[in-house]
Amino acid sequence: MSMRLDGKVALITGAGSGIGRESARLFAAEGAAVVVVDIEDAGGRETVAGIEGAGGRAVYVHADVASAADAAQMIASAEREFGQLHVLFNNAGIMHGRDDDAVSTDEAIWDVTMNVNAKGVFLGCKYGIPALRRAGGGSIINTASFVAILGAATPQIAYTASKGAVLALTRELAVVHARENIRVNALCPGPLRTELLMKFLDTDAKKQRRLVHVPMGRFGEAKEIARAALFLASDESSFVTGTEFLVDGGITAAYVTPE
């Protein structure tokens, strides 16, 4: 059976850990050359070493996705290293420990969260779309969240708003670029057992408060999100664009009523 990303070049931000790392491993195993982007060099290099150790092709690029210069440079690195770019996975995101409700969240926390989670996706697309055009088209995947669709019981106002921005941005990009063979989808994970969320839900009581809402009764794994990202990255999803691709253990089905 042919590999699902054979001959493709994929750039993944936030690939030093969590969803990004699992996706980088999986994409490489499926034949893609992977540009591993992160701001944490140790994690990013570890991801690359793991991929190369398994016989895959990968390169590490240090970039702060909230910086235009870094975003431009990561895309340029992909084309320089591997010739072109077919898959752009804007996955880097932060969830600040002091992100709370509107009254108690500092403006600085709001700004840093928006810069990484929303502006980071915009900048990835700003510099990535011309590269996808040069390659004759491709797939953009933006990591949003189930909280962009329903309100989180544990307040995280900046994070939730930033992920709502990612959804709206994704829809518009999908429509604007639909005739250019560029697909744009938002991946919306439910609550996951990643370091990011486990640090935020730092007590058993907080974890249980989140889990009680998930029909499957467990946290998702980063690997499960990576498989959904692989589908969106591959030609199997050739007629899929502008979606909110929910991988959430049923949480939104339990709470969101149809319009």
Here the tokens at position 61 are 């690029």
Q: In sequence order, what are the residues at sequence separation of 6 or more whose Cβ sits closer than 8 angstroms to the Cβ of residue 153?
A: 209, 210, 213
Burial environment of residue 124 by CB neighbours within 10 A (0 to 12, 13 to 18, 19 or more):
buried
- Please check whether residue 188 is in contact with residue 166, taking contact to mean a CB–CB distance below 8 angstroms: no
- Please check whether residue 163 is in contact with residue 189, taking contact to mean a CB–CB distance below 8 angstroms: no
Here the tokens at position 10 are 């994929």
Gyration radius (Cα) of the chain, Å: 17
Establish whether 255 is a catalytic residue: no
Question: What's the rounded Cα separation, in Å, for the pair 259 and 226?
Answer: 30
Q: Which residues are the active-site residues?
A: 159
